[in-house]
Structure 1
Amino acid sequence: MELISLAILGLLIVISPGADFVLVLKNSLNHGRSAGIWTAIGISLAITIHITYSLLGISYLISQNEMLFNAIRYAGAAYLIYLGVKGIFFSDNKTDLQGDTAPSKSGKHFLAQGFLCNALNPKTMLFFLSVFSQVVSTNASDNHVALLYGAYMIAMHFLWFSLVAILFTSKALQTRLLNMKKLLNQLCGAGLVTFGTVLALKS
């Protein structure tokens, strides 16, 4: 597969709506722009994990071991459902939205959320397995293309999700989102629960 095609494929995967997008949106709306960006950093760091085991061939072994693969799948599903339930039942009625103010919790908290959300997603693992099979060389010393592609994917995840955090905490959207905060929280929560449930039930 040509590198340009791989680059376009990677971009489409990054911007397609999924659990990562919903989590960044939820954290940005509730805790401010900084929280959303910390979540984006966590997601980007998780990509390094996927890249590492793809280069080492571990992802192939995981995908061939049904028990281990299912353990990762259920752990990821449980975490998404947990985050979703929190969003549905613990949404507040406050009518203020956070802009670029400091988050109410430590940045490490949101970084960990983003990291776990992405790292425990077996769909991401299988994507990197399929893509890196196109760029990984059998000669370990000749994997500069794979490393460059990995760096590209890390950068795309960070830039896209940081952009999401910035856009949804911008002044232009504040008034439109002001009276929808609780509903948006509940929709984000329902989305995470749905992603988690589908992940758990998918054979």
Structure 2
Amino acid sequence: MEIISLAIVGLLIVISPGADFVLVLKNSVTSGRAAGVWTAVGISLAIGVHIGYTLLGIGYLISHNVYLFNMVKYAGALYLIYIGLKSILTANASLDGVEKDEVQLKPSQYLFQGFLCNVLNPKTMLFFVSLFSQLISPENHEYGSVLLYGLYIALLHGLWFGAVSVLFTSRVLQHRMAKIKKRLCQVCGAGLMGLGIVLGAKSL
């Protein structure tokens, strides 16, 4: 029963709309399916960082050192605000020639965006620290189970956001997206900026 509960919690965390979803959606709509998929890969890889520092005990340090934790929170908040502002400022970019853009993509750029968006997201950090701190204790050293659960979360991120990028670049939706692209980018950008401001304000 505990395994099922943890699996459901992980699934809900992944599919809940947040900064990762907004970034994948924005990159998919504005730069094509490949951009969205590479962003999803970056997000999935970032989960490995959260697993690593939690298992090594860095999560404990962050959760008990207010100064260090606030530094990380501010870094994540500022990055979200930057991505959001950039999305708003580039909202007028045309969607014409998406296929051409896909060929000329620099995968590392989108992978790095997805990686940073997730690895600097305080909500994701808090999730792993709070959850793993319940799974790991002085009396319980089941690191193998925790590692498997972390890999499960990473796989869910990759599959879910990969599916989002494919869905929103399908031919059925692409024409409709072209019509609302400017407004969608503005909304996504405002959402990212809002998340960054809210998360940053919580540190004050």
Instruction: Give TM-score, length-normalised by structure 1.
Output: 0.93
Q: 1:103 to 1:194 in 2, by over 3 A?
A: farther
Cα separation, 1, equivalents of 2:150 and 2:21: 20
Partner of 1:172: 172
Partner of 1:20: 20
Is the 2:30–2:95 Cα contact (8 Å) retained in structure 1? no
Q: 1:190 to 1:53 in 2, by over 3 A?
A: same
Are 2:87 and 1:87 aligned? Answer: yes
Q: 1:162 to 1:195 in 2, by over 3 A?
A: same
Give 1:73's aligned amino acid: K
Post-superposition CA distance 1:26-68 (Å, at most 9, x none): 0000111111010001101110000011111211110111111
Is the 1:80–1:117 Cα contact (8 Å) retained in structure 2? yes
Q: CA deviation at 1:96?
A: 3.3
Q: 1:200 to 1:142 in 2, by over 3 A?
A: closer
Q: CA deviation at 1:172?
A: 1.1
Q: CA deviation at 1:199?
A: 0.8
Task: Report how many aligned residue pairs link the two structures.
Answer: 203
Secondary structure of the corresponding residue to residue 182 of structure 2: helix
Cα separation, 1, equivalents of 2:13 and 2:103: 28
Of 148-157 and 170-179, the range deviating more from structure 2? 170-179
Q: CA deviation at 1:93?
A: 4.8
Measured on the aligned residues, the alpha-carbon RMSD in Å equals 2.0
Cα separation, 1, equivalents of 2:104 and 2:26: 14
Secondary structure of the corresponding residue to residue 169 of structure 1: coil
Secondary structure of the corresponding residue to residue 48 of structure 1: helix
Partner of 1:68: 68
Instruction: Give TM-score, length-normalised by structure 2.
Output: 0.92
Are 2:183 and 1:183 aligned? Answer: yes
Give 2:163's aligned amino acid: L
Q: CA deviation at 1:179?
A: 0.8
Gaps of at least 5 residues in structure 1 are none
Cα separation, 2, equivalents of 1:107 and 1:187: 25
